[in-house]
Amino acid sequence: MTANHVLFNSEYHLDSFLSGGKKILKHFPDYQELDTIDEIQSKSQILYLGMDLLQFDAYKEEKKGDPVILWNHRWEYDKNPESFFHCLYRLHDEDHSFQVAILGENFQSTPNVFDEAKDRLKEKIIHYGYCNDFKEYARWLWKADILPVTSNQDFFGVSIMEAIYCGAYPILPKRLTYPELLPDTSHHKHLYDNEDELYELVKDCIDHIEMNRENSVGDWVNKFDWKLMAPIYDKLFRSYI
């Protein structure tokens, strides 16, 4: 309310704030002041994150061998690891060929499914744990083929954009911020509505892995690199002076 300008990471970020704000205020018995949300909306706009994507180029590696499925998010409940691993269990039980790289930051309290997956998928896991330096992290992203995302909460998705830039094939839920970050013409190939659709898309990607390796979609996210985003930030901030 005191700000002159309000910036959000994505359309989804803005829409969820506005709808959530009105929902909360409507619970008040009086003095709901719903017009405050309209006031905030009037001075709000979208400013996507800028990212140093070019730093990954120095560590590019060839994708080869069995398809590598990637997890490179925080090991927390809002990332919904249960759905991710249940998909992998199903693929494993049906004897599909793949490997798994589990990256991302883990904390003292992590979902039990990570320990379970370490045991159930032990012959498939080629990396398990946090990468201590950027070089190691970047190389794993370049090795990765498939990025199934199951998050319940995400206002942008930095780790997802990084993996896509490095050539991982994204398979994302048809909700949150993801639809607005991918080309409309790609939605039928990369967005899913439920766990069965998630499984089918991952399986299809495994079955056609060589074709998908040859047709990387990494250029979709070039627009978020700082070389293009920095002038947008500069222009916007100058307009406020």
- Check whether 215 has a pLDDT greater than 80: yes
Chain segment 140-181, per-residue pLDDT in tens: 999 999 999 999 999 999 999 999 999 999 999 999 999 999
pLDDT range class, residue 241, cuts 50, 70, 90: confident
State how far the Cα of 192 lies from the Cα of 201, in Å rounded to an integer: 8
| Residue-by-residue DSSP string for the chain | ---S-EEESSHHHHHHHHHHHHHHHTTSSS---THHHHHHHHTEEE-PPPB--GGGGGG-----SSPEEEE-S-SSGGG-HHHHHHHHHHHHHTT---EEEE-S---SS--THHHHHHHHTTTTEEEES--SSHHHHHHHHHH--EEE---S--SS-HHHHHHHHTT-EEEEESSTTHHHHS-GGGHHHHEESSHHHHHHHHHHHHHTHHHHHHS--GGGGGGGBHHHHHHHHHHHHHHT-
Chain segment 33-59, per-residue pLDDT in tens: 999 999 999 999 999 999 999 999 999
**Which residues on adjacent β-strands are paired with residue 27?**
none
Q: Express as a percent the part of the chain with pLDDT over 70.
A: 100
Q: How far is CA 150 from CA 29, 50, 76, 163, 232, in A?
A: 37, 23, 12, 15, 31
pLDDT range class, residue 109, cuts 50, 70, 90: confident
Q: How far is CA 47 from CA 10, 11, 164, in A?
A: 7, 9, 20
- 195-207 and 81-93 helices cross at what angle (nearest 10)? 50
Q: What is the mean pLDDT of residues 80-108?
A: 96
Structural domains present in the chain: 6-46 (no CATH), 54-223 (3.40.50.2000)
pLDDT range class, residue 108, cuts 50, 70, 90: confident
pTM attached to this predicted model: 0.95
